[in-house]
Structure 1
Amino acid sequence: MNYTYRIYPNVVQQTELRSWLETCRGVYNYALRELKDWIASRKCSVDRCSLEKEYIIPADKPFPSHRQQNNLPKAKKQFPHLGKVHSQVLQTTIRRLHDTWEVFQKRGHGFPRFKKFGQFKSFVFPQFKHNPINGFTIKLPKIGEVPINLHRPIPNGFKVKQVRVLSRVRGTQWYVVVTIESDISVPDAPVRGRAIGIDLGLERFLTASDGSFQERPKFFKSMQRKLKLLQRRAARKQKGSQNWEKAQVEVARMHHRIANRRKDFHLKTAHQLCDQAQTIFAEDLNVTGLTRAMLRKDCVDAAFGQFLSLTEWVCSKRGVYFAKVNPNGTSQTCPNCLATVSKGLEVREHHCPECGYRTHRDRAAAEMVLDRGLENLVSQGLWGTETACQVGLSGVYDLDKSRGARIPNREVGKPAL
């Protein structure tokens, strides 16, 4: 479990933290250079070597894996500035590179890239002998005690495992992500209680199968005019000057504020859903594809991927079952009779010609998500007697009305006469 806190280092500590980040960036890039050279030396066949240049590395030299950490003591003798950084911080930097390499091998894309100036924004202290948090200060090795905004205490029975230091807003704001652990094993959330399906969209951010919906706040578009003004001021400054740096900080601060508002909205909406039901189904959206479509700016502003990830995390923390279903055809299928009802994006009402069911398009899609989620649970044998009453038996509609009151907006679907 991770807790994020704001810290307030003094000027000397901030200078040292920035120096550590640049040192870690250099170690990361050097290790990546060794990795790429080893790969380039084994790219072509023996009889097809390049006529221009070739990376000649002995054939018996192993792949530069985590053993690069063993070369750090020798590198410190050649480059004394490496000794100013905590040894385990440099080790975790190399480990971070190889974790990225392993992820690249699994998914087939996302080769590690060299980090430019300012792109390396965090480093990790992997272990602590004692609790580094004492009152309202946190003690970081070789940095010293730093004031911390401990807005929530560490729960009893948990101990601090590692601390990640984050740089935000061009190095003017600093945070620590404290990883805590306990010996208590938490089981997976069981399937129980009331089940709902949710549909995400741009007209309405979220529509539930019970008729409740949440309007979409336009975080970026509401601040876009002010952000454009700040960017215009920054563009008129001489690049590299102090005034240019101040203007860039203002732009970064505005982006940071927009991201914080969006994340706060996502977390509050996820908690509202957990108050509303004990089993939640959502569409398994292709978030990458949405960000490349015609409405990519609105999709990026809505951040559906972040919302689904945060909702899954909130559900696991609160003991609510969360699952994703296939999103194909949810808005083109009638949830009442399962007939195919084709309609374009401009049609915002679902009207089935087969059974006459009429409701909002997004609610029909949410009801279809719920049906698919229940079918998956039945096929897996997870849908028991405790939740069987939620599949349309008498009295369920009144229960839905009372529990759906937490989300203010609500509509009721009705069959056509």
Structure 2
Amino acid sequence: MLTMNYTYRIYPNAVQQAELLEWMETCRGVYNYALRELKDWIASRKCSVDRCSLEKEYIIPADEPFPSYHRQQNNLPKAKKQFPHLGKVHSQVLQTTIRRLHDTWEAFVKRGHGFPRFKKFGQFKSFVFPQFKNNPINGFTINLPKIGEVPIDLHRPIPNGFKVKQVRVLSRIRGTQWYVVVTIESDISVPDVPVHGRAIGIDLGLERFLTASDRSFQERPKFFKSMQRQLKLLQRRAARKQKGSQNWEKAQVEVARMHHRIANRRRDFHLKTAHQLCDQAQTIFAEDLNVKGLTRGMLRKDCVDAAFGQFLSLTEWVCWKRGVYFAKVNPNGTSQTCPSCFATASKGLEVREHHCPECGYRTHRDHAAAEMVLDRGLENVVTQGLWGTETACQVGLSGVDDLDKWRGAGIPNREVGKPAL
């Protein structure tokens, strides 16, 4: 079973936009009400067995069951009788809203942090139509239940053999732009991409966005910093408007549009860079970076602007789509190890050149790290036995034969040196 998401922009008219915004607020109210029930039930079980709080206590019967997804979903028909405005929203949209809350709750129980929060006005920006009997896309319109026909920019058609499974409606730039994420599904199965062809390792950084083991590199565009002056001006204008007025809302839309433009430019750069890497090689190794840790240091603004996590995710997707093998390796010590003799070559962050005191190998610091990433990736491939899964028409990887010799002779990698490229 193969499932993919295609994103399209839609252009609802004024009446449809007002109805979509009203649905968003209704879903937000249902989400918050269900969360309130959940929190009240949990708070009622926090009281000690032998005493209660002197200030306040939640009075819920001891035999009251946990407000699970199915229980809250079954209470929706009763709620529609008490609150008639809920009937304007498609019933399955409200059910998926409850499902969304309990998915967040289950994720919180699993990881131990990240308790679900109440959604403020404007924070609920999407809802889902979970199923369709027929294909809702007809030519250049999409038929949304209870909304009607909405013009859609179908910049790429739905592939043959795929059917529409669900549609998520997204609100962007404070409700001025609308998108749909169409989930398509097919019964075909796509095998995992085997290791084949030319292999490269890549190192991500702030001086250079990307450096490959073949000495190619990509400079880092400063998307946020280059437009920070314009953004600061728009934010200053918005701050001087009376909050809640029409001019204030217009100013907030301009700020949101600027953020949207920055994000689009960054995503476009990431996708084009990923395609360039796929043109260079058929096997790509990258560092498994701690993205959250990078966003908490002294260089957090630059790291967030570079968005390494988004780039790695998009690269993995592009590699899968184009039949390129992609894998991540341990990033620890890649810049502190010589890729030629595997000796430790400690250096501070300000040192941009790698010079090994053991073998005298000199190169750029990021290039040495990329070579080390490639060596670790090739070693992992041989260790996991993935190299035996290639087909007869595939080309051998550079350096794999040397790694096989190391394994067969029982000689540690550090004593042999760098595999010939």
Q: Indicate the TM-score class for this superposition, using the shorter chain for normalisation.
A: over 0.9
CA distance in 2, matches of 1:309, 1:167: 23
CA RMSD of aligned residues (A): 5.8
Q: Distance in 2 between matches of 1:234 and 1:333?
A: 50
Distance 1:411 1:9, change over 3 A: farther
Paired residues of 2:379 and 2:403 also in contact (CA < 8 A): no
* Contact in 2 for aligned 1:389/1:396 (Cα 8 Å): no
Shift of 1:60: 2.1
SS state of the match for residue 22, structure 1? Answer: helix
Q: Say whether the 8 Å CA contact 2:143–2:150 is kept in structure 1.
A: yes
Mean CA deviation greater in 275-284 or 74-83: 275-284
**CA–CA separation in structure 2 for the residues paired with 1:406 and 1:97:** 54
1:244-270, Cα deviation, whole Å (9 max, x unpaired)? 100110000000000000001111111
SS at match of 1:53: coil
3-state secondary structure, aligned to 1:415: coil
Conserved? CA contact 2:340–2:417, under 8 Å: no
Distance 1:341 1:244, change over 3 A: same
TM-aligned CA deviation for residue 59 of structure 1: 2.2
Q: What whole-Å deviation, never above 9, does each CA across 1:369-388 have from its counterpart, x for those lacking one?
A: 11111121221111238599
Aligned residues: 417
Counterparts in 2 of 1:29 and 1:393: CA distance versus 1, 3 Å: closer
Work out whether residues 209 and 218 of structure 2, in 8 Å CA contact, stay in contact via their aligned partners in 1: yes
Structure 1: distance between partners of 2:403 and 2:266: 31
Contact 2:203/2:366, CA 8 A, preserved across alignment: yes
3-state SS in 2 of match to 1:73:
helix
Find the aligned partners of 1:54 and 1:329 in 2 and give their Cα distance: 54
> Shift of the alpha carbon at 1:400?
21
| CA spacing shift, 1:409–1:150, aligned 2, 3 Å | farther
CA contact (8 A) 1:358 1:415 kept: no
Match of residue 393 from structure 2? 389
C-alpha distance in structure 1 between counterparts of 2:393 and 2:59, whole Å: 70
Greater shift, 313-322 or 391-400, is seen at 391-400
CA contact (8 A) 1:124 1:163 kept: yes
Alpha-carbon distance change, 53 to 159 in structure 1, aligned in 2, over 3 angstroms: same
Contact persistence 1:211–1:410 (CA under 8 A): no
1:48 aligns with 2:51: yes
Q: Which stretch of structure 1 is more off in the superposition, 392-401 or 38-47?
A: 392-401
CA offsets 1:294-323 (integer angstroms, 9 cap, x no match): 011000000011111111111122222211
Cα deviation, 1:194-226, whole Å, max 9, x if unaligned, reads 211111000000111111111000000110011
Give the TM-score taking structure 1 as reference length: 0.92
The answer to whether structure 1 residue 251 and structure 2 residue 252 are counterparts is no
My pick for the range that moved more, 345-354 or 373-382, is 373-382
CA distance in 1, matches of 2:360, 2:367: 15
In structure 2, the residue corresponding to 1:411 is in which secondary structure?
A: helix
Secondary structure class of the residue paired with 2:75: helix
Does the Cα contact within 8 Å between 1:169 and 1:256 map onto a contact in 2?
A: yes
Partner Cα distance (2:146, 2:412) in 1: 51
| 1:273 positional shift | 1.1
| Closer, same or farther: CA 183–389 of 1 in aligned 2, 3 Å | closer
Using the TM superposition, give the Cα deviation of residue 109 of structure 1 relative to its aligned residue in structure 2, in angstroms.
1.5
Instruction: Tell me the CA shift for residue 326 of structure 1.
Output: 1.0
Distance 1:208 1:307 in 2: 15
Aligned to 2:388, the other structure's residue is in SS state coil
- Tell me how far apart the structure 1 counterparts of residues 67 and 117 of structure 2 sit (CA, whole Å): 16
For the residues of structure 2 that align with 1:257 and 1:411, how far apart are their CA atoms?
51
CA-CA distance at 1:44 after TM superposition: 3.5
**Distance in 1, Cα, partners of 2:279 & 2:412:** 13
Q: Which moved more, 1:277-286 or 1:93-102?
A: 277-286
The answer as to whether partners of 2:382 and 2:404 remain within 8 angstroms in 1 is no
Q: 2:52 and 2:261 mapped to 1: Cα distance?
A: 53
Q: Check conservation: 2:135, 2:164, Cα contact below 8 A.
A: yes
Assess if the C-alpha contact under 8 Å between 2:406 and 2:413 holds in 1.
Answer: no
Flag the 1:316–1:44 CA change in 2: closer, same or farther, 3 A.
Answer: farther
8 Å CA contact retained: 1:280, 1:320:
yes
TM-superposed deviation, 1:43: 1.9
CA contact (8 A) 1:166 1:175 kept: yes
Distance 1:142 1:403, change over 3 A: farther
Q: Using a 3 Å threshold, how does the CA distance of structure 1 residues 385 and 11 change in structure 2: closer, same or farther?
A: closer
State the 1:364 CA deviation: 0.6
How far does residue 47 in structure 1 lie from its aligned partner after superposition? Answer: 1.9
- Post-superposition Cα deviations, 1:78-97, rounded to whole Å, max 9, x if no partner, equal 00000000000000000000
Alpha-carbon deviations, 1:74-126, whole Å to 9, x = none?
A: 00000000000000000000000001111111222111110000000000000
Please state whether the residue corresponding to 2:217 is helix, strand or coil: strand
- What's the TM-score once normalised by structure 2's chain length? 0.91
User: Deviation string for 1:362-416 (max 9, x for gaps)?
Assistant: 0111111111111212211112385999999999999999999999999999999
| Residue 371 to residue 14, structure 1, CA distance change in 2 (3 Å) | same
Higher mean C-alpha displacement, 70-79 vs 317-326: 317-326
Alignment of 1:70-81 (within 5 A): 70-81=74-85
Equivalent pair of 1:196/1:370 in contact (CA under 8 Å): yes
What does the per-residue CA deviation read over 1:26-82, in whole Å, with 9 as the maximum and x for residues that have no partner?
A: 000000011111111112431243221111222222221132110000000000000
Q: Is the 2:203–2:370 Cα contact (8 Å) retained in structure 1?
A: yes
SS for the counterpart of 1:416 is coil
- 1:398–1:252 Cα change, 3 Å: farther
